[in-house]
Chain A
Amino acid sequence: MSLKRRLHILKRKYRGSKMAPAFNAIHTFLFLPDETTHGGTHIKAADDLKRTMNTVIMAMIPCLIFGMFNAGYQHYAALGDIQRVSAGFLSPEFWTLDNFLIGLIKILPLVVVSYGVGLGIEFLFAIIKKHEVEEGYLVTGMLVPLIVPVDIPLWMLAVAVAFGVVIGKEVFGGTGMNILNPALTIRAFLFFAYPTWMSGDKVWVHGAVERAATPDAISGETILGSLAQNADVGYSVMDMFLGFIPGSVGETSAFLILIGGLFLIFTKIGSWRIMLSSVLGALAMGLIFNWVIEAGVVGSSSKFYGLMNTVWWHHLLIGGFAFGTVFMATDPVTASQTNKGKWIYGFLVGFISIMIRVFNPAYPEGVMLAILLMNVFAPTIDHYVVQGNVKKRMKRLKAKTA
């Protein structure tokens, strides 16, 4: 009898006991269970939930690894120890062991804390409420380290994860019932609770906070930050696309996010409708702002000038837009469910992201707030799409019978 078989028998034996959910969770995590997911309002396909989650995690792994190299690269580049990249994506300055080690030391704890606290709470709730541990946190736990600054104190992350999982998800009934994307709830909590650690020019490069106000001070302003101050951006478009720029851990490389996005579309896990319409929305807003500048309505003295004057398609490369669109707007639980609804939802996510980004320099990361806002409206969009369909069919029926 194989180990797997034996575990299945053990699982039957312990069914109904207090620790059963915890045992099952570990069992399910390590082995393919002998049953598939059933129930859960967001399951619309035959895939089981674990496979869906693991596919998304696989799509994010390149971003995580790139983020580790980038953390070290930004650190050493800001110190002046190494040259800026010169030879495109495979530049030797970037892919060094030193860079990777810095990233590993800084980012691995973020991943561990995110999973440790989040899964701990999931286990706790599963035991109290006597339901199975749900796999919902697997993706959230990987998203969270990718969307925070590299130097965020671990206890803050732990508090935020606890808040996000309990208030963002468990109070609504757990995985599949939440209104807001839990990962973004966690980031929004951090952003509003500890703004000094989530914005400004010190937090994006490892070591900058400790060195502030000393002769060795370094800084790494994000591109959005520079643009909001109408300052020059010291990065080429290629740097922006490939991701050799300061920013949250895993969101800098639009190139790898694009690959991850294509992978999600290919495996039919992520909705291409949401991704495409969101990009269209962002481009539309970018174009509108460019026209406003061209028409001369806003002069170069305006505080919005820098961001408004950004070439319309550059908005896709800078900030967290690409990451949010591919990995978070497409969250099957919180996005719209109907196909027509997905187009509307995605378009508004993109449109509003850029609008917030430009009009509110205090919240340069518009995509987070835009997705959270649209999460709230997604059920309403679905409702009207469904009602519209019902009306159309009623009319057809009437025409037929008349």
Chain B
Amino acid sequence: MGLLSKKDTKLITDPLADNNPITIQVLGICSALAITAELKASIVMSISVLFVLGVGNVVVSLMRNIIPSKIRIIVQLVVVAALVIIVDQVLKAFAYELSKTLSVFVGLIITNCIIMGRFEAFALGNGPWRSFLDGIGNAAGYGAILIIVGFFRELLGSGTLLGFKVLGDPIEKTGLYAIGYENNGFMLLSPMALIVVGVIIWVQRTRNKALIEDH
């Protein structure tokens, strides 16, 4: 198996599929709806959360024995806020336009339920290495959904991918637009993101019947 034991591998692969933070636990929906109109923003958001959750989980895990349990939420908030500020400043310095697009949603990573959830549920009770893997896994699961949603919304909504006009030019009427195709404006609105996430959930549960809850 090499680097990772079977148990450790599960920490990373589980959130990617059968325990996905968005489609199964239904956490972090707010940002998934708000910033996925463009693929680029989705990717940057995924990387930001990957950084915050990976590092944050390690930091909280290292401090887990010295944090008094009564004030642990405040301590966790301080950790995540510090990390988010780092991300925010880096984005503002190196990708100003993009940080404008993401606007408050970088700051709102602090309130992303996935992050606090992993701190509480995992980092407080596990060692730094396993916490790191858990953080990476969950952030990757979150990012995967963001990127899928971002891909479809940008492709169908704007006819571009990462800014490249893959379907032709809507004004010059080239490519698909020459035969009367038009961009779907609904895809750029948040309700459609919810529907796309819903469709992903639908597909996932159809493929794995064990995920369907009993009522």
Contacts and interface: CB of A to CB of B under 8 A. Distances in A.
Interface string A295-309: 000000000000000
Interface of A: 153, 155-156, 159, 167, 171, 189, 192-197
A194 B185 contact: yes
A155 B180 contact: yes
A194 B180 contact: no
B174 interface: no
Contacts of B198: 167, 171
A192 B180 CA distance: 18
B195 A193 contact: no
A167 B195 contact: yes
24 contacts: A153-B180, A155-B180, A155-B181, A156-B182, A159-B184, A167-B195, A167-B198, A167-B199, A171-B198, A171-B202, A189-B186, A192-B185, A192-B186, A192-B189, A193-B184, A193-B185, A193-B186, A193-B187, A194-B182, A194-B184, A194-B185, A195-B185, A196-B182, A197-B182
A197 B184 CA distance: 11
A174 to B, nearest CB: 15
A195 B157 CA distance: 13
A196 B186 CA distance: 12
A171 B202 CA distance: 9
B189 to A, nearest CB: 6
A155 B184 CA distance: 12
Contacts of B180: 153, 155
Interface of B: 180-182, 184-187, 189, 195, 198-199, 202
A402 B8 CA distance: 68
Contacts of A197: 182
B175 to A, nearest CB: 16
Nearest to A188: B186
Chain B interface SS verdict (over half): helix
Contacts of A171: 198, 202
Contacts of A195: 185
> Which of B182, B189, B199: most chain A CB closer than 10 A?
B182
A151 to B, nearest CB: 12
Nearest to A155: B180
A37 B117 CA distance: 49
A160 to B, nearest CB: 10
> Which of A155, A159, A189, A192: most chain B CB closer than 10 A?
A192
Contacts of A153: 180, 182
A189 B185 CA distance: 9
Nearest to B199: A167
List the 8 closest A-B pairs by CB distance, nearest first. A193-B186, A192-B186, A193-B184, A193-B185, A194-B182, A195-B185, A153-B180, A167-B195
B203 to A, nearest CB: 12
Contacts of B185: 192-195
Contacts of A192: 185-186, 189
> Which of B180, B184, B185, B199: most chain A CB closer than 10 A?
B184
A192 B157 CA distance: 11
Given A167-B195, A171-B198, 13 more contacts: A153-B180, A153-B182, A155-B180, A155-B181, A159-B184, A171-B202, A189-B186, A192-B186, A192-B189, A193-B185, A193-B187, A194-B184, A194-B185
A167 B191 CA distance: 12
Nearest to B191: A192
Contacts of A194: 182, 184-185
Contacts of B184: 159, 193-194
Contacts of B199: 167
A193 B195 CA distance: 14
B176 to A, nearest CB: 11
B112 to A, nearest CB: 27
A195 B199 CA distance: 24
A65 to B, nearest CB: 29
Nearest to A197: B182
Contacts of B187: 193
Nearest to A153: B180
A73 to B, nearest CB: 27
Contacts of B186: 189, 192-193
A196 B185 CA distance: 10
A159 B156 CA distance: 12
